[in-house]
Structures are given as C-alpha cells and as structure tokens.
Amino acid sequence: MPAEWEPQAAVWLSWPHKRKTWPKQFRPIPPTFARVVAAISRFETVCINAAAELQPRARELCEQAGARMARVRFFDHPTNDTWCRDHGPIFLRHERTGEVALTDWQFNGWGGKHLPCDSDNRIPSAIARRLRLRHFTHEMVLEGGSIDVNGAGLLLTTEQCLLNPNRNPHLNREQIERNLRDNLGVDTVHWLGRGLVGDDTDGHVDDLTRFFKVDGIVTAVETNKRDANFAALDDNLRRLQKLRTPAGRPFDLVELPMPRRVAFQGVRVPASYANFLVINGAVLVPTFRQLDRDEAACTIIGRCFPGREIVPIDCYYLIWGRGSLHCISQQQPA
C-alpha cells in the first residue's frame, strides 16, 4: 500500500445524497463536495461514484464550483452513503512491476451502526470491473480511515477501532496484524489507543495521527486538560514518543493543535485538522471557521509537506456528518 504522498492517478469520491447523515444541514453539503471536486481537479483526476439520477445535478454543481470537468469522471455506482475512505477500495502497487490492484475488505457500517450498507460494500468490486484491475477480496472488516501507512512497511491504527468486537469478534490482535501484513504489504503495526469524542467510527486514526514522510508523524494534540479529548490524545502522544523507526531512531514527531469544540444541536463532532488529504502537488486541509487555529494548522501542515500547495477547505457543515476531507476520499496510486 503506497503512502498517500506518492504519485496518484486519481482521487475517488462518493456523491452525497443521504440527508439524515447531516440532520437539518444537508443543503450546503453537495456544494461543499463540488468545491472539493474543483480543488482536486486542479491537480489530478476526480472519479465520482454516483447513481445515474444524481449525476446531472452533481455535474452542474461541479461546473458552478469551477471544476476542470475534463478531469472529472462519473461512474454509475449507487451508494448508501458518502464515506469513500471506508467503503471504497484500498489500492496496492506492486513494488517491482508497478501494477496497481485493489483490495476489497468487508464493510459493515462501522460495526452495524449505520445500515444498510450493501451498496457501499459493492463499491470496490464495481471499481475493479470498470478499471479492469486485479481485485483481492478479504473476509476481515476494515475501513480505510482506520489505518495510515508510510509506504515503507509501517502502519498506524487504533485499538478502539480494530480491536472492537463490532468489527471482527473472531480475530485477536495477532490475527488482525497478520492480515494487515499479508494483504497490505506492511511489516509493522503501531497501535494507538482511543479516538475523538463524537467519532462514530470508534476511533479512526485519520482523525488523530498521520504519516507525513517515511520517518515523520503528525499528531493531533489537546492542551486543555479539561477538554474531553485531552486524555485520549495525551495517551496517543506518549505512545508515539516511545516509538522507534526500523533504524532505531525516534520519529520526527509534529504536534498539530485541535480546533476548538465544534457542535451541532448540542452534539460534539470530531473536528480535526489531521483529516487532511494529500494529492499530487497539494494538501487539502479542513477548516472550521476558527481563523486563528485554521491558519495555524495550515502553517504546520505546510511545513510537513514542503513544495505542495496548501488548500484550505471550509468543512464547517461537512463535519456534522462526523467526517471531513480524508473521510470522503480515497486515492488511487499511479
């Protein structure tokens, strides 16, 4: 599994249509997606899963947002929801031949919390057929947002998610690690603890901690000890400080401050700047209408990815669905 900063052929999205994912706030969501499409299309191809009846309006919104439509492709792939990071394929690249293939893991609606998910679970096989790529099917439940890799044998995940009995109750830690090593080409699995308050994915790592280079990790931190996220993020930071690279050195560890609390209808949502998306030549960074912290996060992420344009994307309404830029996307390596 290549690192996200390696060359990409495309980014996949699944067009939003499930109104109850954003209760009373769905109206701004399709235009937000269109702005994401427009931003990505400046740098590479965007492939969009969307049932045929959704495509005319989706295309219109993308055009209005200024997308480079020659780089936008629609596929008649119906979905239950929009979180392509989790229901889409996890792509692989052969280290000798360069062949790109995809893996198709089971998707059970984040432990059965959001059903039905049958159409979502068919997305990887549908993409494999359209792209004519080799297709490896696995019985283990795995969502793309629950893992992050450095492309050189290391993988980050959380105990809260992958060891949760609502995913793979028949597998223990060692068996899960073996599946990840055997099927994603990784050597070592590094475990963090718990995720953010309000994260209904049970602690996806892409809201917490990400590789930004082979020996570099950027991680969300909370300095307010009274904040509900402080204990989990502090524990994760301490675990990361103890990790060593295969060469025995500490990782280049960068701390990424959290935004202030974001809530809708009194419900806290898992807003995090760690949910950025790396694409060819740029990094899309979620922002939450907190000018000081948004700017600080963009600056820190920009230092992690020198030479790439930092593109802030307003995710204020998007996060009410409990995810932002990384959650809605899945990169296809070149």
**Counts of helices then strands in the chain (DSSP H, E):** 10, 18
Asked whether the beta carbons of 87 and 13 are under 8 A apart, the reply is no
Q: What is the pLDDT, as a whole number, of residue 159?
A: 98
Q: Please indicate, yes or no, if residue 112 is contained in any of the structural domains.
A: yes
Taking the CA of residue 298 as centre, how many other CA atoms within 13 Å lie in the half-sphere pointing to its CB?
19
Q: Please indicate, yes or no, if residue 122 is contained in any of the structural domains.
A: yes
Q: What is the pLDDT, as a whole number, of residue 249?
A: 97
Q: What is the pLDDT, as a whole number, of residue 236?
A: 98
Q: Please indicate, yes or no, if residue 2 is contained in any of the structural domains.
A: no
Domain count, the chain: 1
47 part of the active site = no
Q: Please indicate, yes or no, if residue 1 is contained in any of the structural domains.
A: no
Query: What is the domain range of residue 41?
Result: 8-333
Q: Please indicate, yes or no, if residue 138 is contained in any of the structural domains.
A: yes
Q: What is the pLDDT, as a whole number, of residue 233?
A: 98
Asked whether the beta carbons of 160 and 196 are under 8 A apart, the reply is no
Residue 138's domain is classified under what CATH number? 3.75.10.10
Q: Please indicate, yes or no, if residue 108 is contained in any of the structural domains.
A: yes
Q: What is the pLDDT, as a whole number, of residue 298?
A: 98
Q: Which of 47, 298, 315, 327 is catalytic?
A: 327
CB within 8 Å of 73: residues ≥ 6 apart: 10, 45, 46, 47, 48
Q: Please indicate, yes or no, if residue 27 is contained in any of the structural domains.
A: yes
Q: How far apart are CA 99 and CA 43, in angstroms?
A: 22
Q: Please indicate, yes or no, if residue 3 is contained in any of the structural domains.
A: no
Q: Which residues of the chain have pLDDT under 50?
A: none
Residue with tokens 């809530």: 263
Q: What is the pLDDT, as a whole number, of residue 103?
A: 98
